[in-house]
Structure 1
Amino acid sequence: MIRQRNIALAIILTIVTCGIYGIYWFIVMTDEVGQLSGDPSFTGFKHFLLTLVTCGVWSFVWAYQVTKQIEYAQLQRGFRPSDNALIYILLTLFGLGIVTYALVQSDVNKMEMP
C-alpha cells in the first residue's frame, strides 16, 4: 500500500533522529516505487544494504534506477514521465541525498496504486 507522506515532516524527523528516520524513509519509499512500477525486485532493503556495502557508491546507481522506475510508473498511469536522473545524481554527488528523497517522495505522492 502506498502511503502519502508529508515531505517537510519526513525531513524534520530525519534531522531530529540523526538520520534514523531517513533510513526508514529511504527503504519504505524505495519499496513503494517498486510497487508502483510493478517491479518486485526493486526493494528498499536491498538498495540500502548495497549502499552500505559499497560505502555509498551504490546511492548513485539507486538515484538513476529510481528515476527509471518512476518514469515507468508514470507512463503506466498516463502521466507525463519526468526524467530526473541527472538532477538526482548531482544532488547525491553534492551530499544532498535528502533533497533527492524529497523529490522522489513528491513523485510517489502524485501517483496512486491501480
Structure 2
Amino acid sequence: MTDPILHRRSVIAVILFTLITGGIYGVYWIYITTRDLNEFTGDYRIKPGWTLLFGLLTCGLYMFYWWYKINDLIMAAQIKAQRPFRSDNKLLFVVLRIFGLAIINMAIVQSDLNDIYTNLHLAQTPQNEIEDDDEWSDY
C-alpha cells in the first residue's frame, strides 16, 4: 500500500502560520500545494518553481492567474479521487484575491485537499485493518 501524494494539513494551522509568518508560510504552501497537485493529477502545466518566480517578477499579478488555474487541478484531483467537486471556484478565487483575501482561498483549497486525502486514505485502508470498537461482537 502506498501513501497518497497529497498530505492532510489543518486548515486553521495553514491560516495561522500564514498570518504569524507575515505570508512566508503562504508562499511555501503555494509551492507544496502546486507540487502535490501536479504529482497527483499528472498535470504539470503549472510548475511550482515558476509560479513563485513569476509571482515575484510580476509583483503578485501572476498569482491571479495561479488562483484561476489551480482550481482546474483541484477539480482534476477530485475526479481522480472519485469525489464530487463542490463547485468551480475560479471566479471566487480571483475576486477574493482582488480584495486581498487570498487566505480564504487557501482555506477553501486546503479543505478540498483534505477531503480528497481522507477519501484516498479510506479507500486504501483494507477492511481488516479498520478497527471495530464494539468489543461485544467478538463473543
TM-score (normalised: structure 1): 0.88
CA distance in 2, matches of 1:49, 1:26: 12
1:60 correspondence with 2:64:
yes
Count of paired positions: 114
Q: CA RMSD in A?
A: 1.7
State which of 17, 40, 44 in structure 1 corresponds to 2:44: 40
* Deviation at residue 99 of structure 1 after TM alignment: 1.1
Does 1:6 find its partner at 2:14? no
Shift of 1:107: 1.1
CA distance in 1: counterparts of 2:33 and 2:10, whole angstroms: 12
Structure 1 stretches of 4+ with a deviation exceeding 4 A read none
Secondary structure of 2:22's partner?
Answer: coil
The 2-side partners of 1:60 and 1:83 are apart by: 15
Q: 1:24 corresponds to which residue?
A: 28
User: Distance between the aligned counterparts of 2:36 and 2:112, measured in 1?
Assistant: 11
Task: Tell me, in whole angstroms, the C-alpha distance in 2 between the residues paired with 1:39 and 1:84.
Answer: 19
- 1:35-80 deviation line (CA, Å, top 9, x unaligned): 2322134332221111111111111111111011111121222222
Task: Tell me, in whole angstroms, the C-alpha distance in 2 between the residues paired with 1:6 and 1:28.
Answer: 14
SS at match of 2:105: helix
In 2, the alpha carbon distance for the partners of 1:101 and 1:88 equals 9
Q: Which of 90, 96, 99 matches 1:94?
A: 99
Q: Structure 1 residues 54-63 or 32-41, which shifts more?
A: 32-41
Report the TM-score when normalising by structure 2.
Answer: 0.74
Amino-acid identity (%)? 34
Equivalent position amino acid for 1:19 in 2: G
Q: Secondary structure at the match of 1:111?
A: helix
